[in-house]
A and B are shown apart, each in its own frame.
Chain A
Amino acid sequence: MALKPVRVSQLNSYIKRILQSDPILGNISVIGEISNLKFHSSGHVYFSLKDEDSKVSCFLPAGNVGRIGFQLKEGIEVTAHGYIYLYERGGSYSINIRDMESAGQGDLAAAFEKLKLKLQQEGLFSQEKKKSLPVFPYKVAVVTSPTGAAVRDILKIIKQKNDVVDIMVYPVLVQGPSAPDEIAHAITDINENHTDVDVIITGRGGGSAEELWAFNDENVARSIYASKIPVISAVGHETDFTIADFVADLRAETPTAAAERAVPDTRELREYIDSIYSENRRNLRMLLEDRKKHLQLLDPKAFGRDLQSRVAMDHMRIENIMEDMTDSIHSMIRDKKYRLMLLKETLDGADPKAILKKGYSVITDENGVIVRDASALEQDQLINIEAAVGHAKARVVSSGKDK
């Protein structure tokens, strides 16, 4: 049973309603190659998406252009997200685009995120599993292209900084289909057959996302995780993050930075050691001097001298006491002698004989009694005269009171 004929506009309106109410067509992603790219002065962008067999018109409103994270170019493959829109008046439909991405880029980014999430959940990025770098490595292995900028930078920096460490360049392809396996194998091989290696640097110089892709490989990530030797990743520039960077024990921003981090500065170390050495020498010499002085103090000769001077002091002391005593006894005797002499003089002064010497005489009566009153003498009485020299007997002629 056919419907009665409808007008064109009715048809288009009907189709539009059908198209725009369809859940799939209302939110669809389409892969295709850009062609007939036109940038309208209004800011809207018009182009076609095509594959080998078909094409479809696309409309990118000016308001959505800012979202697109890449340069729109004729011929590139993109994935467009949007909905189907019918242009009633022309009876043609187009994709009204909300967002768009470069197809290859989208795949890579998705794969990257997927692998990153998977390995993260397995614990390959866990901080506790990270090995610390050796303070003084004797051998560094560099897993990279032997002709790239990275190996040149790494060798230059290490040689500048450190004249002790050995460097083993383990040549691998760092891009192309076989690169991931070569890198993974190299890391495993070093762990098995070059056990004297203390630290591994793996990486490459800057490049496009595709060129760095080997370092987003799962096998590379697992070989780094399994490595017993610490691994430093050094891929591209500071802004480039790869899976290898997340797994590595240390992520260096660039190959140059990796070299800086891998080895210590031997010149600085030598200076440091020299300073310790001379400080030790200085301290030891001081200690020795100190002990010598100490010993000198304990030298028996010096000790003996001290003792002798002590004895000498004691000698002097008893000498002084003795002298003092002798002085005392002498002065005591002298003093007594002096007093004796004074007494003698006094006695001498009182001796009657001393008066006689002055011309006086002592007269005594016959009984020897000193005559003190001459008037008491009688006539013819005998008296004794004693002068300073000699004596005489005499007879009193007369006597009386005063003349």
Chain B
Amino acid sequence: MAEKKSFEEVLKKLEEASAKLKSEDISLEDAIKSYEEGIKYYKECSEILEKADQKIETLTK
């Protein structure tokens, strides 16, 4: 990753993508684009959480 974004930042983008996807007048093309973005942000979030979990595990051993 080029720049390290905080979980909250990425989460916000994920939520934005989700909102956009659900808007009434979105075109299929835009919907697919939003969905792809959503998946990307979801993976980023997931990764951050995964790392946090591991770190906690290590620290509390």
B-binding residues in A (CB < 8 A) = 300-301, 303-305, 307-308, 311, 314-315, 317-318, 321-322, 324-326, 328-329, 332-333, 336
6 pairs, A vs B, C-beta closer than 8 Å: A311-B53, A314-B45, A322-B14, A325-B17, A325-B35, A329-B31
Given A325-B35, A329-B31: A318 touches B60 (CB 8 Å cut-off): no
Cross-chain contact of A318 among B22, B42, B59 (Cβ < 8 A): B42
Q: How many residues of B contact A (CB 8 A)?
A: 25
Contacts of A301 in B (CB 8 A): 60
Would B28 and A332 count as touching, CB distance under 8 A?
Answer: yes
What residues on B are CB-neighbors of A328 within 8 Å? 18, 21-22, 31, 35
Known: A314-B7, A325-B18. 11 other contacts (CB 8 A): A300-B60, A304-B59, A305-B60, A307-B52, A311-B52, A318-B11, A318-B45, A321-B14, A322-B42, A328-B22, A336-B28
A interface majority secondary structure: helix
* Contact A329/B35 with A307-B56, A308-B56, A311-B49 known, Cβ cut-off 8 Å: yes
Closest 7 CB pairs of A and B: A304-B60, A318-B45, A325-B38, A322-B42, A329-B35, A304-B56, A301-B60
Q: How far is the CA of A329 from the CA of B38 in the complex (A)?
A: 11
> Which residues of the partner chain A approach B22 to less than 8 Å between Cβ atoms?
328
Contacts of A317 in B (CB 8 A): 11
Per-position binary interface string of chain B over residues 15-26, scored 1 when its CB falls under 8 Å from any chain A CB and 0 otherwise: 101100110000
Most-contacted residue by chain B among A300, A303, A318, A326 (CB, 10 A)? A318
Interchain nearest-CB distance for B61 vs A (Å): 9
**Residues of chain B from 1 to 57 with CB closer than 8 A to chain A in the complex:** 7, 11, 14-15, 17-18, 21-22, 28, 31-32, 34-35, 38-39, 42, 45-46, 49, 52-53, 56-57
